[in-house]
Amino acid sequence: MKEKKVKEPKQPKENKVEEKMGKDKIIDVDSEPVEEAKVKVPKEKKAKRPKNREKLTAKYFKKVSGKSIDSFNEMVQADYAKAIERAQQLSSIEKSEYSSPILITVPDAFHYGGKVNYRLDKKPDDTFTLMYDQALVYVLFFGKNSLFYYQANMNHINGQIASDIAGEFNYADVVHMETELKYDHIDRPKYITLDLEIGLVDGTIVPFHLRNHRVHQDYDLPSLLTQQEQLILGILKKKVRESRNI
């Protein structure tokens, strides 16, 4: 079987520091016509790039854990929005062709041999989220008959995105699906990964890296699969099985 060349995520090296609409115009049809006043339409403001972004990120990851910081989270969400936009463009699809996109991120060094910094964020509701400054990002668009997928490497330190890959396949062309849960060490695992391989009728293998979880004493997964992982696997397998019954 020929294997589709998709980048395998590099195991992150441990760092010393871890973890317009305008107003409607009312017209009186009984009144005499009047000249419409010229209204200056304000230009749409572009999203401002955070000042001293690299310094902000470096300071943020100096601590292994701490309270969630809105300014950093907003910056990360802006990076994700940019990835979704690139995914749409490279896939040549419109919003009407798919349901809401699903975003997957796993820690992965942006440069070969690079190091990923981690931080355990405490949310206002006392839950925790593991943050990292570099990631491998997937965007999945589940269409009616096809899955459109995109992946790229993202560097939250400076906002760079590289190694973009976009592809698609029909659900009816899937002949094999394999889900694998792996540990870097059986007795004392430091990383838990979840991989999904899709085998197509022409022999192509399309891999997806759904998880690269770094084990932390204060942050553990609630169950075997996260809600998002269950959602992705459930939607994909349902659509593939339905396509076989047509």
**pLDDT digit string, tens, across residues 125-163:** 888 888 999 999 999 999 999 999 999 999 999 999 999
**Does some domain include residue 96?**
yes
**Does some domain include residue 66?**
yes
pLDDT at 5: 55
Top-confidence residue, 222 or 66: 66
Q: How many domains does the chain have?
A: 1
Concatenating the DSSP letter of every residue in the chain gives: --B---PPPPPPBPPSS-----PPPP--TTSPP-PPPP-PPPPPPPPPPPTTHHHHHHHHTTSSEEE--HHHHHHHHHHHHHHHHHHHHHHT--GGGBSS-EEEEEE--SSTT-B--EEEEEPTTS-EEEEESEEEEEEEEEBSSEEEEEEEEEETTTTEEEEEEEEEEEGGGEEEEEEEEEESSSSS-SEEEEEEEEEETTS-EEEEEEEEEEPBTTB--SSSS-HHHHHHHHHHHHHHHHHHT-
Percent of the chain with pLDDT over 70: 77
Q: How confident is the model at residue 222 (pLDDT cuts 50, 70, 90)?
A: confident
**Does some domain include residue 136?**
yes
Top-confidence residue, 200 or 8: 200
pLDDT at 208: 96
pTM tops 0.85? no
pLDDT at 162: 96
Percent of the chain with pLDDT over 90: 52
Judge whether residue 70 has pLDDT over 70.
yes
Judge whether residue 209 has pLDDT over 70.
yes
pLDDT at 12: 53
* Residue 170 identity: N
**Does some domain include residue 28?**
no
Top-confidence residue, 153 or 17: 153
Cα 127 to Cα 114: distance, rounded to the nearest angstrom:
29
**Does some domain include residue 2?**
no
**Does some domain include residue 122?**
yes
**Does some domain include residue 163?**
yes
Top-confidence residue, 89 or 68: 89
Domain that holds residue 139: 53-244
- Selection from 190, 139, 184 nearest residue 166 by Cα: 139
pLDDT at 9: 59
**Does some domain include residue 17?**
no
Judge whether residue 54 has pLDDT over 70.
yes
* Alpha-carbon distances, residue 172 vs 202, 207, 236 (angstroms): 12, 17, 11
Judge whether residue 21 has pLDDT over 80.
no
